[in-house]
């Protein structure tokens, strides 16, 4: 169980941060700290002050690395910062598991490697208090790391991977509903990675332009002939490269109940999946997400506006930059 004690920390954080800032002006490196207190000892202001000072010392070491020329967007620097942010948030929420120590250990290991100029693995461990969730987002991160546009999204990829570990921890501790805000954050980061890849300069584009969505009739998951033609183009392109993956994200308009719309959006993704399987696409290359009435394309209640929201978005995960088209030729108002 968590007991939020951010109020107690407020003055302590301010005091510790000020102390660390003064130290930075006097010496080249922050004074070494041994780590944080065990959970049972985090009950006095002195213990909390020591712990915050240690966390700030890790942040200072990253600041020094950046001042020495390491990019603020560097993959490893961003990953270390993400681990620290995760640890600090769980610390201030009084998490009684070992997540704080585990996250800070990962951060310090990366910082030590950066300071020593050592080669650091790009693998992101799922720490003991967490579990592996959201294969689609992990796959997207891996694809981004092997992409020619990785330089444009390296920091976001690092943040996404740590965010996924955080999701696993929150779900393990208090269930999926409690992890909702972390899940939404991970999905936003992943969308940003895809947007960065799409706009990254100097990356070769495929000449073929591909559709990025299908549309459906009201209260229907039937794929129209026009939508079938769009899906066929996707399947043909996927056959040119066996490493390409496709994420199908289903949506509904806002008519009907939330639960019904969620189920309807799932049926739409399943219909698109079955079509692609019939075209010879392997099932392991397809992932599904049902989002119901979330993220409407159009805000309004007219038939034309609602038609835009009844859709399945086609998110290609590839090491190549692929031009996509916002096609609406299969709208069914």
Consecutive 10-residue runs of the chain (333 residues): their mean pLDDT?
A: 42 38 35 60 76 90 91 93 91 82 94 95 94 92 86 92 94 84 87 77 53 93 92 91 90 93 96 96 94 88 88 84 73 82
Q: How many domains does the chain have?
A: 3
* Per-residue pLDDT at 40: 61
Asked if 2 and 115 sit in the same domain, the reply is yes
For residue 68, report the phi and psi dihedrals to the nearest 5 degrees.
-85, -5
Give the predicted TM-score (pTM) of the model. 0.56
Asked if 320 and 264 sit in the same domain, the reply is yes
* Per-residue pLDDT at 37: 65
Asked if 235 and 245 sit in the same domain, the reply is yes
Asked if 148 and 101 sit in the same domain, the reply is no
Asked if 82 and 138 sit in the same domain, the reply is no
- Is position 29 within any domain? yes
- Is position 331 within any domain? no
* Per-residue pLDDT at 28: 42
- Share the mean pLDDT of the chain: 83
Asked if 218 and 315 sit in the same domain, the reply is yes
- Is position 332 within any domain? no
Could you list the residue range(s) of the whole structural domain that residue 185 is in? 122-203
CA–CA gap between residue 293 and residue 254 (Å, rounded): 5
How many H-runs (helices) and E-runs (strands) does the chain carry?
10, 6
Asked if 296 and 217 sit in the same domain, the reply is yes
Concatenating the DSSP letter of every residue in 282-327 gives: -GGGEEEEE-TT-S-SS-S-SHHHHHHHSEEEEEEE-SSB--EE--
- Is position 314 within any domain? yes
User: End-to-end distance of the chain based on CA atoms, in angstroms?
Assistant: 49
- The CATH number covering residue 214 comes to 3.30.1330.60
Asked if 128 and 239 sit in the same domain, the reply is no
CB 75 within 8 A of CB 110: no
Looking at 203, 219, 253, the residue that finishes a domain is: 203
CB 95 within 8 A of CB 173: yes
248, β-bridge pairs: 288, 314
User: Which DSSP category does 205 fall into?
Assistant: B
CA–CA gap between residue 143 and residue 120 (Å, rounded): 19
Asked if 99 and 195 sit in the same domain, the reply is no
Cite the beta strand spans of 156-310 per DSSP E: 210-211, 213-215, 245-250, 286-290
Asked if 169 and 199 sit in the same domain, the reply is yes
- Is position 330 within any domain? no
- 152-211 pLDDT tens trace: 889 999 999 999 999 999 998 888 887 888 888 898 899 888 877 766 654 444 445 688
- Is position 143 within any domain? yes
* Per-residue pLDDT at 126: 94
| C-alpha atoms less than 13 angstroms from C-alpha of 152 in its C-beta half-sphere | 17
- Is position 88 within any domain? yes
CA–CA gap between residue 19 and residue 145 (Å, rounded): 38
Asked if 58 and 154 sit in the same domain, the reply is no
CB 250 within 8 A of CB 312: yes
Looking at 74, 90, 120, the residue that finishes a domain is: 120
CA–CA gap between residue 101 and residue 107 (Å, rounded): 10
Asked if 148 and 225 sit in the same domain, the reply is no
Looking at 85, 120, 155, the residue that finishes a domain is: 120
* Per-residue pLDDT at 11: 38
- Is position 333 within any domain? no
């Amino acid at each position: 169980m968590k007991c939020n004690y951010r109020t107690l920390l407020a003055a302590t954080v301010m005091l510790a941060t000020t102390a660390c800032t003064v130290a930075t002006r006097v010496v080249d490196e922050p004074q070494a700290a041994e780590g944080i207190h065990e959970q049972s000892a985090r009950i006095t202001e002195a213990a909390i002050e020591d712990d915050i000072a240690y966390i700030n010392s890790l942040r200072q070491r990253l600041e020094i690395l950046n001042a020495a020329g390491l990019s603020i967007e560097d993959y490893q620097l961003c990953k270390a910062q993400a681990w620290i942010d995760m640890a600090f948030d769980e610390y201030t929420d009084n998490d009684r598991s070992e997540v704080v120590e585990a996250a800070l250990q990962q951060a310090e290991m990366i910082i030590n490697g950066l300071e020593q100029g050592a080669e650091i693995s790009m693998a992101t461990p799922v720490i003991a208090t967490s579990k592996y969730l959201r294969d689609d987002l992990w796959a997207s991160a891996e694809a981004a790391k092997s992409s020619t546009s990785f330089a444009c999204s390296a920091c976001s990829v690092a943040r996404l991977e740590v965010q996924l570990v955080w999701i696993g921890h929150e779900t393990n501790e208090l269930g999926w509903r409690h992890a909702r805000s972390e899940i939404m954050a991970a999905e936003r980061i992943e969308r940003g990675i895809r947007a960065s890849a799409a706009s990254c300069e100097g990356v070769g584009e495929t000449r073929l332009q591909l559709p990025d969505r299908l549309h459906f009739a009201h209260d229907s998951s039937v794929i129209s002939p026009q939508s079938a033609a769009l899906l066929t183009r996707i399947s043909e392109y996927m056959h040119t490269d066996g490493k390409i993956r496709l994420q199908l994200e289903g949506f509904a308009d806002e008519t009907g109940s939330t639960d019904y719309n969620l189920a309807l959006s799932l049926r739409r993704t399943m219909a698109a999946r079955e079509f692609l399987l019939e075209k010879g696409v392997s099932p392991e290359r397809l992932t599904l997400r049902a989002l119901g009435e979330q993220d409407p394309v159009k805000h309004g209640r007219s038939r034309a506006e609602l038609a835009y929201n009844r859709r399945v978005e086609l998110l290609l995960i590839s090491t190549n930059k692929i031009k996509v088209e916002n096609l609406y030729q299969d709208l069914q108002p």
